[in-house]
Amino acid sequence: MERLSFKRRVTLAALLLVIGTLCHPPAGVSAGELVVGTSTGYPPYYYMEKGDLTGVCVELINHAAQSLGLMVTYKQYPWKRMLHSGKTGRVDAIMPLFKTPERETFLLFPDAELALEENHIFTRRAARVHFSGKLTDIAPHPVGVVTGYSYGKVFDAATYLDKIVTRNDLNLLQMFKHRRFAVGVGNRHVVRYFADRVGGVHDLVFLEPPLTRAPLFIAFSRKKGHTRLTAEFAQALRDFKRTRAGRDILARYGMAP
């Protein structure tokens, strides 16, 4: 067998290193599996349909992960447990959520969002609630919110509001139906979805202007050391959203840029 020269051996070693890098998943991910924590449903962003998890965020994440050679496994938790699973490294990432200073202490947020979300004040038309954009307008009313959710810095810091905390979006609409509060806060798509599930929620209106308009992210666990993966995933997500397939997904869910 011909003995390789030192130069050829170095070249071959470098080539094998490149091939090995391309064939292996990003550092920190076990066996090419990306474990993503979600909560109990937030349509159209993610929800169960015929036994499978789907939604605009799920589709975008799956395509971006596939381009990195990763297979995604989703695990569902109540909202606060989902946040805790990201904090403790029980999962690789959690989604979808807003970026806040407190969450950045234990999560890495990529510089590419999944989608934009608007939160609105909602009520019954007959309640005749006035909202000009100032939170003081709704101060006379108890306001339904979901535990652990952020509704923007101003709302989160408004301790003068009488906030009625509910377990999840379904519970929010159940309590609204039974008139535990006349005013709630939520995403228009999500509120309508759960209003239909609850039934009997009539005369529902969303007040303008939106309370918040902010990006939703997938965020990676600092505990898992996913700094490199966060950057790689951001680029993969940006690249996919520029494709025809990516634009079609956003348009199908009414979120075309």
Under 8 Å between Cβ of 121 and 182: no
Residue 255: its pLDDT value, please? 83
112 with 123, same domain: the answer is no
Count CB-CB contacts under 10 A for residue 42.
26
110 with 126, same domain: the answer is no
Contacts 24+ apart (CB under 8 A), 161-166: 161/135
- Over residues 110-139, the mean pLDDT reads 96
Tell me the pLDDT of the chain averaged across its residues.
Answer: 89
Under 8 Å between Cβ of 92 and 154: no
Residue 24 to residues 28, 29, 84, 141, Cα–Cα distance (Å): 11, 10, 29, 55
1 lies in a domain? Answer: no
H/E element, 214: strand 204-221
97 with 221, same domain: the answer is yes
Question: Phi-psi category of 28—alpha, beta or left, where left has phi over 0 and alpha has psi -120 to 50?
Answer: left
Residue 144 sits in a domain of what CATH number? 3.40.190.10
Q: What is the pLDDT of residues 129-149, one digit of tens each?
A: 999 999 999 999 999 999 999
Q: What is the pLDDT of residues 25-75, one digit of tens each?
A: 555 566 799 999 999 888 899 999 999 999 999 999 999 999 999 999 999
